[in-house]
């Protein structure tokens, strides 16, 4: 079931001032997807699934780079160019223009989503949802943490107020529960945080994002499913 809440939305195109906001039950990254496919088909190993899906993704990227539109049952991909041109003699200028891939739902998804069941949640409270941690020193996802090196978090509702010491990215030591806050935030967006990992002791840690979502006054905490190892 797709759950939603009604929230205030004062965009000019919204005459009533209210709109639905879908509450994701969970965010599935590529690794989660591979696990799910492997579990649903006992005749194919996880490594085989990973190899095929990686080849699938690379092939789509190559086709797009060759200027092709790619239509799949799940999604349709189309390269476009943003920015304005002065006249027909003008040419692409990286300072003014950008190549952007537009993605729309494919036929299979459009057909299935028509039958989706939805449910209204009263008083739904959005919270940070950290899903994927990428270690900048090793490139490993959801596995290790390298203190003093860059780290990245991917998810939803991750942005927080850096001036509030109660908010932020925290590494929680599994042995004694010590919480160490990230002090050097490099990039902060709702779906993507980049930062310098603080000094941490060796062992296992969980990652928390603590934030007060926009339009709310209550601190919310989101915890990653994966336990990471400090190297």
Is the pLDDT at 144 greater than 90? The verdict is yes
Give me the pLDDT at residue 28, please: 83
Report the number of distinct structural domains present in the chain: 2
Pairing of strands 2-8, 118-120: parallel
Domain assignment present for residue 180? The answer is: yes
Burial class from Cβ neighbours inside 10 Å (0-12, 13-18, 19+) for residue 145 reads buried
Is the pLDDT at 99 greater than 90? The verdict is yes
Is the pLDDT at 10 greater than 70? The verdict is no
For residue 35, give the 3-state DSSP assignment: helix
Q: What CATH number should be reported for the domain holding residue 174? A: 2.70.50.70
Give me the pLDDT at residue 199, please: 96
Domain assignment present for residue 9? The answer is: no
State which residues form the domain around 42: 28-111
Are the C-beta atoms of residues 227 and 174 closer than 8 Å to each other? yes
Same domain, 80 and 137: no
Give me the pLDDT at residue 174, please: 92
Give me the pLDDT at residue 124, please: 59
Domain assignment present for residue 187? The answer is: yes
What HEC string does 189-222 produce?
ECCEEEEECCCCCCEEEEEEEEECCCCCCCCEEE
Tens of pLDDT, residue by residue over 158-172, are 999 999 999 999 999
Tens of pLDDT, residue by residue over 178-192, are 999 999 999 999 889
- Which of the two residues, 42 and 110, has the higher pLDDT score? 110
Q: What CATH number should be reported for the domain holding residue 102? A: 4.10.520.10
Give me the pLDDT at residue 82, please: 95
**Average per-residue pLDDT for the chain:** 90
Give me the pLDDT at residue 196, please: 97
CA distances from 123 to 23, 35, 127, 214, 223 (A): 12, 33, 13, 15, 21
> Where is average pLDDT lowest: 38-42, 82-86, 130-134?
38-42
Is the pLDDT at 215 greater than 70? The verdict is no
Domain assignment present for residue 8? The answer is: no
Which two tokens mark 15?
């005459």
- Which of the two residues, 44 and 71, has the higher pLDDT score? 71
């Amino acid at each position: 079931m797709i759950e939603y809440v009604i929230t205030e939305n004062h965009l000019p195109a919204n005459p009533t001032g209210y709109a639905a906001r879908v509450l994701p039950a969970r965010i599935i990254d590529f690794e989660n997807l591979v696990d799910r496919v492997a579990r649903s088909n006992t005749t194919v190993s996880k490594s085989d699934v990973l190899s095929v899906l990686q080849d699938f993704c690379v092939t789509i990227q190559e086709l797009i780079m060759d200027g092709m539109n790619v239509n799949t049952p799940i999604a349709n991909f189309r390269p476009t160019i943003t920015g304005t041109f002065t006249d027909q003699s003008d040419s692409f200028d990286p300072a003014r223009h950008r190549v952007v891939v537009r993605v729309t739902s494919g036929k299979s998804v459009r057909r299935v989503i028509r039958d989706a069941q939805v449910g209204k949640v009263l008083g739904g409270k959005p919270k940070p949802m950290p899903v994927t941690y990428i270690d900048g020193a090793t490139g490993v996802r959801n596995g290790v943490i390298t203190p003093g090196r860059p780290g990245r978090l991917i998810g939803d509702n991750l942005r927080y107020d850096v001036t509030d010491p109660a908010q932020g990215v925290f590494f929680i030591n599994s042995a004694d529960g010590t919480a160490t806050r990230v002090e050097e935030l490099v990039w902060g967006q709702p779906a993507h945080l980049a930062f310098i990992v603080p000094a941490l002791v060796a062992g296992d840690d969980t990652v928390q994002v603590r934030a007060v979502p926009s339009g709310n006054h209550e601190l919310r905490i989101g915890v990653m499913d994966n336990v990471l190892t400090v190297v």
